[in-house]
Amino acid sequence: MPSLKEVRLRIQSINSTQQITKAMKMVAAAKLRRAQDAIIQMRPYTQRLQTILQNISSQLEDEASNPYAEEREPNKVLLVVITSDRGLAGAFNANVTKAVNSLLTGKYASQAAAGNVQLLTIGKKGNDFFGRRKYPLNSEYATLFSSLNFNQARRVAEFAMDGFLARRFDRVELVYNEFKNVATQIIRTEQFLPIVEVKNESQKASTTNYIFEPSEKEIFAELIPKTLKIQFYKALLESNASEHGARMTAMDKATDNAKELLKDLKLIYNRTRQAAITKEILEIVGGAEALASNG
């Protein structure tokens, strides 16, 4: 049985940990509110833009007028790995790295073996994880979440888009956590480029026949690149909200676990103290009886 001092020190340590986890939960809750508002406001806009983008891509008469939709053999692949800068968020980062590893050993195993899969990491945790494993890595945007805004997201999207047009990449995929609610985040592996056209026949039949004004070329030059950048920014906002939700949940559980542990430690402390007092009483009684028998 541990000594009273050991139990007392452990209780103090758990108390301090509980205060930290409670404070981190409150901070995550405050950040989550802002991040959640941002993604909820962004979703309807991006979903409608995505529908328009897919419909335009499928109806352009000249395929060359939309090189972002050009399907080709994925010999060179760019995986955009979106994690967080900090841990203590449960399985948030581990789920992303697991999904990326699954792509590297499954869908793109031959490309990875040939060294033709490049990882673009956004978030220090993913950058550190894959950096230690010596994968071809682009760490230029790893700290983007320290100042997340549309201009920062646009720069990364343009890197991927320019690489696709220059044929440095034949396919670009995003791997990130989609925000569902505070307790649930869904891992998404989303093809960013080439643009995925509408495949549902009933959906194709119901799409609008667009009359292009201005020309198709001008629409390509303005609408399609802008829509792709907004879609990329949405993925970052989803991941940002998911991170704060995951951290809030993790810290809530940690606080509850600390509470239960404190309860058990206090019970052990009281039992240990009671045993020590009982031992002292027995020693006193034994000493008194020994004196009485000697007298």
Q: Which of 24-28, 46-50, 159-163 has the lowest mean pLDDT?
A: 46-50
CA–CA gap between residue 66 and residue 68 (Å, rounded): 5
CA–CA gap between residue 117 and residue 137 (Å, rounded): 9
Q: What separation, in Å, do the N-terminal and C-terminal C-alpha atoms of the chain show?
A: 37
Question: 48, 188 in Cβ contact below 8 A?
Answer: no
CA atoms lying within 13 Å on the CB side of residue 139? 14
pLDDT for res 205: 42
pLDDT for res 197: 65
pLDDT at 141 over 90: yes
pLDDT at 168 over 60: yes
pLDDT for res 290: 79
Rounded to 5 degrees, φ, ψ at 275 are -65, -40
Question: 169, 120 in Cβ contact below 8 A?
Answer: no
- Mean pLDDT confidence for 24-31: 94
Tokens found for residue 279: 């031992």
- Mean pLDDT confidence for 195-217: 61
Of the two residues 272 and 191, the one the predictor is more confident about is: 191
pLDDT at 12 over 90: yes
Close Cβ partners of 273 (under 8 Å, ≥ 6 residues apart): 4
Amino acid (1-letter code) at residue 244: H
- Mean pLDDT confidence for 216-230: 81
Residue 202: pLDDT band by 50, 70, 90 thresholds?
Answer: very low
Domains of the chain: 4-19+252-289 (1.10.287), 29-248 (3.40.1380.10)
Place of tokens 């991170």: 243
Question: 154, 229 in Cβ contact below 8 A?
Answer: yes
pLDDT for res 180: 92
CA–CA gap between residue 220 and residue 202 (Å, rounded): 25
Beta-carbon count within 10 A of 221 CB:
13
Residue 216: pLDDT band by 50, 70, 90 thresholds?
Answer: low
Residue 139: pLDDT band by 50, 70, 90 thresholds?
Answer: very high
pLDDT for res 224: 84
CA–CA gap between residue 172 and residue 264 (Å, rounded): 51
Mean pLDDT value across the chain:
88
Task: From residue 246, give the alpha-carbon distance in Å to each of 41, 86, 128.
Answer: 20, 12, 20
pLDDT tens digits, residue range 74-101? 999 999 999 999 999 999 999 999 999 9
pLDDT at 144 over 90: yes
Peptide bond into 194 cis (omega under 30): yes
What pTM did the predictor assign?
A: 0.85
Of all residues in the chain, what percent carry a pLDDT higher than 70?
Answer: 89
DSSP string, 191-217: EEESPPPP--HHHHHTS--PPPSS-HH
